[in-house]
Every structure is written in structure tokens, then in C-alpha cells.
């Protein structure tokens, strides 16, 4: 994307208070301030704690929900999701990236919103407490679906990648900055005097009183140090962590037990200026935390000139350099922890040098402007990656179809070797959505998305765009193979504003009425009408369908692309004349194909003709019984693999298609390409392909008329040969598959903005 373009960031927040006691809350407040200072517009939905200080480039939308009850993930998800929808769709506040501060409380709402809009999503994670299983499960689900995850240390990157199963390339490190606390005193001595600690050696701890921060360990270490020098005092700044068992009463009782009750000052939660005074008074900061994602309190203390004695856990070794600006000590050896601190406190020159190094180093390494610059770069990478990703195509098959269905009907090879191959010339990622549950690879670079086992087809079609929303949202174009089965594609196109290209291959409502399914005919008729209205382009396969569709949507979006046939594949060598002639039918055995009428038409011809039926379907058993009753010579072969179909055509003397209605029948095109004389019903679809007396014979779909046409071809061999030759020429000239695919690929490229 354009590097000069100003990015607009949306970052939902539960607090913008500078008095936030959580390091994560301070991190996001300071980051948003720094982004605004860099000229980045920040839209901030704010709920639960609505107080904030206005700032240039901040657009704060206060949600009128107070935090007067225990906050849960369901409540925060509801509040933030509907506010984001309101801002985007009603108020029409636009932004380029959505950044969540907490993948647990805010992440689910942002993720659902992303499903609707496709806005890139970035989540912040500071660290993972492995005991919080439910919280981690929610955060893991959100982070796996984010475009990027931002952490505040390399330790956190390793932890998040390992425990959440994330690709490390999608996890970015941005350190926090030093907070410029207003100095309450000019010197350390003045700060101590203000706190009533003149002449004392002051150690300090700042943070929420939780087991993770390990204040009990700090108290034990201080007791050891106090026994060696009773002039030492310990400031513990912070209150009990909400939602956890109170720790303060136990700490106070333990201080008394250790004999340091008068030497430990429990300051509680203090305002920012008071915290600054405490930090300024400290000679050494003590922070034996068990787990930190960054350690903002440590950085603040070091910025105020206090070297830090920290544990060797989490991110703290990344912040403090041992024996340079502090001490990094092993928690497993508490005695050594205290010994090293005692040695440092006893060497005033070394202590002062470390304090100077601490102040200098953190200000050089950690700044909020640097953090904001890194965040901007991550945002640009995420947005640029989305903009420059390989173009993607989503292909929705007909209702009930899938890999197994196409294989059974002999269409899989055609679909894979021709359609998919040509689509891959334009699209780097292709997803094919089917209804059958098998998991199978179609081709390299193609993802077959199977249906759900035991799910009814209509239910799965309705759920498809939600179950696989990331693929629909990722697509540059949605390709619908049959408009009558367009509900999933229609919803996906509408929800994520994707261009839709649909094939209108036959009149779907009329087709279902011919199959004696009147209620379903109404449904598919309505769906296909909505598809026509929504589609960016409609492929029609015959001139008759072009006229029909034009009456509903106008000519501007209609493209006539007939079904094609691989004429080279079906170029076969004809056999000589045979005593018993063979008629061939290829197709599904359904009521619409009208095979019962064909049997009645062939009955008067009797033993003079053999009928080969290739295909399967719900009418097969009924048709077998009917053929036996009429004493016809009929061979039901079932489904034949696509690669064997030319040999089947080579056996035949003529092709018959007695259907009540067709779209643009591929089997008829194949028979023509094979040079077979054809007899077809004089109905829509067939009459658009066969030209009567020129490339085949058309007959009314009655036993008498159809039988007469078949008998004519059987009796007049010169006519049959001539019609077969002309059929082959017509198929080669008008219906070459590569020509049709050229037109389709050009159309998809144009609609997808790729041409």
C-alpha cells in the first residue's frame, strides 16, 4: 500500500484513565497517545469507564455502559460488537485496521465484526497465564484468526507461538516505552524527605498484589536485607488484584511475623504523582515476578534512576542487563538473591552508576514514539499483505454436488483438467465449496471445502458462508456454477461485498416443476432471481436463456458463454456398419430425462436396435422394470469414468436425448463432437444446440414422433453419416471448450479487477 497514506486505527477500550493500575492498560493508553501524536486518527469505542482526557486525533465514542457489575466476556462482546456495527454501518465511521487490547474481553466482538466487514484485525497479548484455561481458550481462538498478533517481548512471542499454535511470522514484538512521570521532587533526598524516609535506604515494589507478581517473595528477601541493616525500608505500592483472593492482609501479617512490620510501608493504590514520588525515593527496585510480558513498572522505576533487581523469569531479562543497569537473579536461590542485593546496596558508587545506566538505557531503548512507529509498520504490513495477496476465487458447486458426485457422474476430470487449470492461470488461491463430506485434493493450489457429514443439504448451504467465512471474505470473486443453488454464494457476496459471477444454465423453477417438485421450484426460482439481481455478471449458455435473463436484469451484465466440449478428446474413429444398431443415452436417470417415453418409442423397432444407458439416478430401478416389461434390449452401464467415455461413444451409431427440458446439455455436445448423429426432443435447451435436419433431428417428446426420428436414422445411413459429420463440425466451431474457458477467464479477471 501507499507508504504516505495515513492509516485509520480503531481500538476499543475499557479504560483510558492514566490512573490505570494495570500495565496493559497503561501500555494501550500511551500507545494511542503516541499514535495520535504521530498524526494517526484513532477511533476509540470506550465502555465501562467512560472518563478520559480529550486529545487531538482521538475520536472517542463513549458507550453508555458503566462498569457497575462484574464484567464478563459475554457482556463485553455484546457491548463492543454492536457498537462497532453501529459505528461502521450507521454512523459510517471508516477505519483501516482494528486493534484489540485484550483478545479475551474485546477479541470476540472484534472477530465477529471482522467476519462481517473483512477489516484486518490485530490483537495484543502480553503474556499467557497457563492456569487460566477458559480465558486462554478464548484468546487462542481469537489470535489464530487475527491477521497479526503483537506482543511486548521475545519471551511472549515464544510463549504465544508455542501455546496458541501460531506461526511465529505472524507474531510481532513491540516493546513498550518509558512513562514520563511528573517528578514530585527534584532529588532522591527530597523525595525521601517528602515520604518521611530521610536517611533511609529505600527499596520498592510497584504492581498489583497478585501471586504472579510474587510480592511475598519480595517481602522474604527484604526481611533478610533488613536483618543485615535496620536502616532499610521497603515501599510496597499497589492494591489487591481484582477478582483474586486478597493478598494484602496476608502480606501485612507476614511482615509482622518476619519482624519487619515497621520497616515495610504498604502504600496501597496511589495516584500517578504519588507513584512518581515513591519511585523517585527508591534506591533499588525489587521485582521478583513469576511472569511478565514486558514489565512496565520495572521500566518506570529504571527511568526514575533506580536500578532493578528482577527475577530471571518471563521478559524481565530482556529489560534489565545483569550488572549493568540492575540484577537478574535466580528465583530458586533466595539466599543468593538477597546476598547480591545486599552487596549492591553496600557499594554506593556501583549503585549510583547502575542507577544512571538504568535511566539512560531504558530511555534509549524504550520510547512510546518508537512503540507507535513499530505499530504503524505492523499495520502497514498487515494491510499491504491483504492488498497484495494472491487473488483468490471461491467456487460454489451445485446443491448436493461434490468431488464424489462429480467422479460418479464422470465430470471430475473435466472440472479439474479444464476449468480448474484455466482458473489457476489468474487466481493464486482457489477454494471449491461442495456438499459431500469427503476430504480430497483436487489439484495443486486448489482447496476442496467439503460439506458436513449428516447435515441436510439446505441447512449446510445456509450455513456455508458462515462456517467458511474467512475463505469467502478472502475471495476476490465468487463463482457460482448454478444460479438455482445460489443461496450460499448470494449470502457470501452480500455479507462481504464480493463480486458474484453466476451461470444461469437453465430455467431452474421450470426445471423443478418438470421433476414434479412444485414447492422446490418456487424456492429455486426465487433464489435464482435474487442471484440475477445481485450478480456482477451472469453467464448464460444459450441465446434463449439470454432473452429470458435480459427481461429480468437488462443486457449490461449478461455474457453468452456456451458450455464447451473438448473436441480433440472426443475425436474418435467410427466403426463400420453393424447389423444391430446401437443407440446411446448419457445422463442422469431422472424423471426430467424422459427415458420412459424413449422406451415406448423404441418398442416398435424391437430387436433392430440396442440401447446403451450410461448414468445413474433415482429412476434406475423403475426404468429397468419398464425396459424388461417392454422386452427391450437395454444395457444399463451405470456411471462410466470420464476417460472411458469416448470409447462408449465409439460403440454407438446414434445418440438420443429425449428430455422434457435441458439447459445446455454437455452430453449432447460430446456426442456431436464424437461425430454421432443425434435425435433430441424439440424442447428448450436441446433445440438451442441441434439444428433440425442440419446437425441432427428434433422430434416432439412423444413416443410416436421420437420413435419415427430414431427409425429414420437407423434406416437412412447416408443421412446419419452426413448429420454426424455436420454435428462434429458444428461442435468444433461453436462449442470448443478452450474458447468458452477463454471467455470465462477474461470475465472473471475483469469482474475481480485483475485485468
Rounded to whole angstroms, the Cα distance separating 755 from 747 reads 9
HEC readout, 251-315: HHHHHHHCCCCCCEEEEECCCHHHHHHHHHHCCEEEECCCCCCCCHHHHHHHHCCCCEEEECCCC
Higher pLDDT, 203 or 752: 203
Stretch (H or E) spanning 246:
none
Find how far residue 286's CA is from the centre of its chain.
Answer: 45
Percentage of residues of the chain with pLDDT beyond 70: 95
Contact 28, 101 (CB under 8 A): yes
- What is the structure's pLDDT at 183? 57
Residue 2 has pLDDT above 60, yes or no: no
Residue 692 per-residue DSSP state: B
- Cα-based distances in Å from 283 to 181, 252, 353, 574: 17, 22, 12, 101
The pLDDT value recorded for residue 340 is 95
pLDDT tens by residue, 88-109: 988 888 899 999 988 988 999 9
Supply the pLDDT for residue 583: 95
- Out of 367-371, 523-527, 622-626, pick the least confident: 523-527
- Nearest residue to 632 (alpha-carbon basis) of 672, 604, 593: 604
CATH 3.30.70.1280 given to domain 9-173: no
Residue 69, pLDDT > 50, answer: no
CA atoms of 306 and 283, how far apart (whole Å): 6
**DSSP alpha helices (H): ranges in 195-271?**
215-228, 248-257
pLDDT band at 68 (very low <50, low <70, confident <90, very high): very low
How far apart CA 202 and CA 291 sit, in angstroms, is 24
Nearest-angstrom CA–CA distance, 312 and 324: 15
Q: Is the pLDDT of residue 701 over 80?
A: yes
Return the biggest CA–CA distance within the chain. 124
pLDDT band at residue 23 under the 50/70/90 scheme: low
Same topology between domain 9-173 and domain 389-560: yes
Residue 549 CA: distances (Å) to CA of 131, 505, 531, 557, 661: 61, 11, 11, 10, 17
pLDDT, averaged across the chain = 88
Q: What is the CA 374 to chain-centroid distance, rounded?
A: 25
Q: Which CATH superfamily is domain 581-735 in?
A: Glycogen Phosphorylase B; (3.40.50.2000)
Handedness of CA 77, 83, 84, 90 (dihedral sign): positive
Query: Alpha helices, DSSP H only, in 86-179?
Result: 107-117, 133-144, 154-164
Q: What is the pLDDT of residue 643?
A: 82
Interval 575-579 mean pLDDT:
56
Q: What is the mean pLDDT of residues 82-89?
A: 91
Tell me how far apart the alpha carbons of residues 64 and 79 are, in angstroms, rounded to a whole number.
10
* Confidence (pLDDT) at 328: 95
Segment 276-302, tens digit of pLDDT:
899 999 999 999 999 998 888 999 999
Q: What pLDDT, on a 0 to 100 scale, did the predictor assign at position 22?
A: 61
Give the homologous superfamily in CATH for domain 188-366: Glycogen Phosphorylase B; (3.40.50.2000)
Name the residue ranges covered by the structural domains of the chain. Answer: 9-173, 188-366, 389-560, 581-735
Region 466-470: what's the mean pLDDT? 83
- The β-bridge partners of 49 are 15
CA–CA distance, 62 with 372 (Å, rounded to integer):
23
The pLDDT score that the predictor gives to residue 567 is 86
- For the chain, what percent of residues have pLDDT higher than 90? 54
CA distance 512 to 297: 71
Confidence bin at 574 (pLDDT 50/70/90):
low
Q: What is the pLDDT of residue 21?
A: 52
- pLDDT tens digits for 310-319? 999 999 999 9
pLDDT of residue 20: 59
Q: What is the mean pLDDT of residues 407-422?
A: 84
Residue 3 has pLDDT above 60, yes or no: no
Judged by average pLDDT, the poorest of 47-51, 231-235, 346-350 is: 47-51
Q: Could you tell me the pLDDT band of residue 1, with boundaries at 50, 70 and 90?
A: very low
Nearest 5°: the CA angle 458, 460, 463 is 110
DSSP 418: I
State the virtual CA torsion across 81, 86, 89, 92 in degrees, nearest 10.
-120
pLDDT in tens, 386-399: 554 578 899 999 88
Mean pLDDT of 692-721: 95
pLDDT at 578 over 70: no
3-state secondary structure 447-497: EEECCCCCCCHHHHHHHHHHHCHHHHHHCCEEEECCHHHCHHHHHHHHHCC
- Please give the radius of gyration of the chain, using alpha carbons only, rounded to the nearest integer: 38
pLDDT in tens, 540-558: 998 888 888 898 888 889 9
Among 402, 401, 392, 472, which residue's Cα sits nearest to residue 439?
A: 402
Number of Cβ within a 10 Å radius of residue 625: 10
Distance between CA atoms of residues 30 and 300, nearest Å: 13
CB-based contacts of 346: which residues, under 8 Å, 6+ apart?
none
DSSP for 579-644, written as a single string: SSEEEEEES--SGGG-HHHHHHHHTTTGGGEEEEEE---TTHHHHHHHHHHTT--EEEEE---GGG
Residue 499 to residue 490: CA distance in whole angstroms: 10
Cα gap 451→439, rounded to integer Å? 9
- Residues 6+ positions from 455 with CB-CB distance below 8 Å: 463
Stronger pLDDT, 74 or 2, i.e. the higher one = 74
pLDDT classification of 205: cutoffs 50, 70, 90: very high
Is pTM, for the whole model, over 0.85? Answer: no
Q: In the predicted model, what is the mean pLDDT of residues 26-33?
A: 88
CA proximity to 117, closest of 93, 144, 152 = 93
The better pLDDT of the pair 184, 585 is held by: 585
Q: Are 392 and 474 in contact (CB under 8 A)?
A: yes
Q: pLDDT tens, 297-335?
A: 999 999 999 999 999 999 999 999 999 999 999 999 999
Grid cell digits, residue 36:
495520535
CATH of segment(s) 389-560: 3.40.50.2000
Amino acid at each position: 500500500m501507499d507508504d504516505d497514506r495515513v492509516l485509520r486505527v480503531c481500538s476499543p477500550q475499557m479504560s483510558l484513565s492514566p490512573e490505570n493500575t494495570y500495565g496493559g492498560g497503561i501500555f494501550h493508553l500511551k500507545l494511542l497517545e503516541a499514535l495520535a501524536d504521530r498524526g494517526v486518527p484513532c477511533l476509540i469505542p470506550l465502555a465501562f469507564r467512560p472518563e478520559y482526557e480529550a486529545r487531538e486525533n482521538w475520536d472517542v465514542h463513549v458507550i453508555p455502559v458503566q462498569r457497575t457489575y462484574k464484567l464478563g466476556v459475554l457482556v463485553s462482546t455484546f457491548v463492543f460488537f454492536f457498537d462497532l456495527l453501529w459505528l461502521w454501518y450507521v454512523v459510517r465511521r471508516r477505519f483501516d485496521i482494528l486493534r484489540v487490547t485484550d483478545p479475551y474481553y474485546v477479541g470476540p466482538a472484534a472477530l465477529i465484526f471482522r467476519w462481517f466487514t473483512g477489516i484486518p484485525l490485530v490483537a495484543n497479548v502480553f503474556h499467557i497465564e497457563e492456569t487460566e484455561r477458559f480465558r486462554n481458550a478464548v484468546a487462542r481462538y481469537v489470535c489464530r484468526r487475527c491477521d497479526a498478533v503483537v506482543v511486548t517481548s521475545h519471551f511472549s512471542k515464544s510463549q504465544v507461538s508455542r501455546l496458541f499454535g501460531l506461526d511465529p511470522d505472524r507474531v510481532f514484538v513491540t516493546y513498550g516505552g518509558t512513562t514520563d512521570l511528573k517528578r514530585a521532587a527534584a532529588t532522591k533526598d527530597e523525595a525521601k524527605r517528602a515520604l518521611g524516609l530521610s536517611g533511609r535506604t529505600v527499596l520498592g515494589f510497584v504492581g498489583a498484589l497478585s501471586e504472579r507478581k510474587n510480592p511475598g517473595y519480595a517481602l522474604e528477601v527484604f526481611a533478610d536485607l533488613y536483618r543485615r541493616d535496620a536502616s532499610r525500608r521497603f515501599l510496597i505500592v499497589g492494591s489487591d488484584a481484582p477478582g483474586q483472593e486478597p493478598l494484602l492482609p496476608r502480606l501485612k501479617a507476614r511482615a509482622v511475623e518476619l519482624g519487619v512490620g515497621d520497616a515495610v510501608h504498604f502504600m496501597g493504590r496511589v495516584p500517578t504523582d504519588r507513584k512518581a514520588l515513591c519511585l523517585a525515593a527508591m534506591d533499588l527496585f525489587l521485582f521478583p515476578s513469576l511472569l511478565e510480558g514486558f514489565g512496565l513498572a520495572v521500566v518506570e522505576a529504571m527511568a526514575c534512576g533506580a536500578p532493578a533487581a528482577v527475577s530471571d523469569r518471563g521478559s524481565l531479562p530482556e529489560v534489565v542487563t545483569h550488572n549493568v543497569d540492575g540484577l537478574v537473579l535466580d528465583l530458586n536461590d533466595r539466599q543468593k538473591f538477597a546476598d547480591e542485593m545486599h552487596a549492591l546496596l553496600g557499594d554506593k558508587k556501583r549503585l549510583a552508576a547502575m542507577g544512571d545506566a538504568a535511566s539512560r538505557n531504558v530511555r534509549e531503548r524504550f520510547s512510546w514514539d518508537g512503540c507507535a512507529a513499530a505499530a504503524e509498520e505492523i499495520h502497514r504490513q498487515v494491510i499491504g499483505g491483504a492488498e497484495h495477496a494472491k487473488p483468490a476465487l471461491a467456487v460454489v458447486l451445485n446443491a448436493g454436488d461434490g468431488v464424489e458426485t462429480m467422479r460418479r457422474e464422470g465430470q471430475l476430470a473435466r472440472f479439474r483438467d479444464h476449468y480448474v487449470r484455466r482458473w489457476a492461470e489468474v487466481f493464486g488461491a482457489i477454494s471449491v465449496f461442495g456438499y459431500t463430506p469427503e476430504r480430497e485434493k483436487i489439484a495443486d493450489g486448489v482447496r476442496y471445502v467439503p460439506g458436513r457429514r449428516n447435515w441436510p443439504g439446505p441447512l449446510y448451504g445456509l450455513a456455508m458462508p458462515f462456517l467458511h467465512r474467512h475463505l469467502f471474505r478472502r475471495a476476490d470473486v465468487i463463482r457460482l456454477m448454478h444460479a438455482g443453488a445460489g443461496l450460499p454464494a448470494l449470502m457470501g457476496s452480500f455479507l462481504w461485498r464480493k463480486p458474484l459471477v453466476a451461470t444461469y444454465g437453465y430455467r431452474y423453477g421450470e426445471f423443478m416443476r418438470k421433476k414434479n417438485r412444485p414447492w422446490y421450484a418456487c424456492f429455486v426460482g426465487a433464489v435464482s432471481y435474487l442471484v440475477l439481481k445481485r450478480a456482477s455478471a451472469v453467464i448464460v449458455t444459450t441465446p434463449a436463456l439470454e432473452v429470458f435473463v435480459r427481461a429480468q436484469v437488462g443486457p449490461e451484465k449478461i455474457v453468452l458463454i456456451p458450455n464447451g466440449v473438448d473436441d480433440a478428446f472426443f475425436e474418435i474413429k467410427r466403426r463400420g456398419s453393424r447389423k444391430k444398431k446401437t443407440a446411446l443415452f448419457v445422463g442422469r436417470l431422472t424423471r426430467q430425462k424422459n427415458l420412459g417415453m424413449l422406451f415406448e418409442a423404441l418398442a416398435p423397432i424391437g430387436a433392430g436396435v440396442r440401447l446403451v444407458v450410461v448414468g445413474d439416478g433415482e429412476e434406475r430401478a423403475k426404468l429397468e422394470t419398464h425396459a424388461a416389461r417392454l422386452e427391450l434390449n437395454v444395457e444399463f452401464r451405470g456411471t462410466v469414468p470420464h476417460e472411458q467415455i469416448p470409447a462408449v461413444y465409439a460403440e454407438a451409431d446414434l445418440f438420443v436425448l429425449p428430455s422434457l427440458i435441458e439447459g445446455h446439455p454437455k452430453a449432447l455436445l460430446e456426442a456431436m463432437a464424437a461425430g454421432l448423429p443425434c435425435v433430441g426432443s424439440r424442447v428448450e435447451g436441446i433445440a438451442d444446440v441441434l439444428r433440425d435436419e442440419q446437425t441432427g433431428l428434433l422430434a416432439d417428446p412423444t413416443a410416436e414422433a421420437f420413435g419415427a426420428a430414431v427409425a429414420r436414422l437407423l434406416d437412412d445411413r447416408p443421412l446419419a453419416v452426413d448429420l454426424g459429420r455436420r454435428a462434429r463440425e458444428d461442435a468444433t466451431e461453436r462449442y470448443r471448450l478452450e474458447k468458452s474457458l477463454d471467455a470465462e477467464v477474461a470475465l472473471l479477471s475483469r469482474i475481480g479487477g485483475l485485468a
